[in-house]
Amino acid sequence: MRMFKRYMPKLVAKHVSRLFSGRVYIDGRGGYEFDKGLLLVPINAQQRHYQTVKEVNQEIRRIREF
């Protein structure tokens, strides 16, 4: 499990796309699992969780385009 002290979508996306499956924790945002190179929405998610997943997955797709 990787822990991020700040929410930086590009850094989280880089980590998720390289490891492909696992878990991350972001201070102020909570814990997330990722599989197949994409961040997954947690169970009992709130609006901030959906926003985080959307932003990180957009960055992952942007990375994969190059």
Catalogue all structural domains in the chain, each as residue range(s) with its CATH number: 2-65 (3.30.1910.10)
Give the pLDDT confidence of 3-45 residue by residue, as tens digits. 999 999 999 999 999 999 999 999 999 999 999 999 999 999 9
- Single pTM value for the model: 0.92
Q: How far apart are CA 54 and CA 41, in angstroms?
A: 9
- Across 1-37, b (16+ Cβ under 10 Å) vs e yields eeeeeeeebeebbeebbeeeeeebebeebeebebeeb
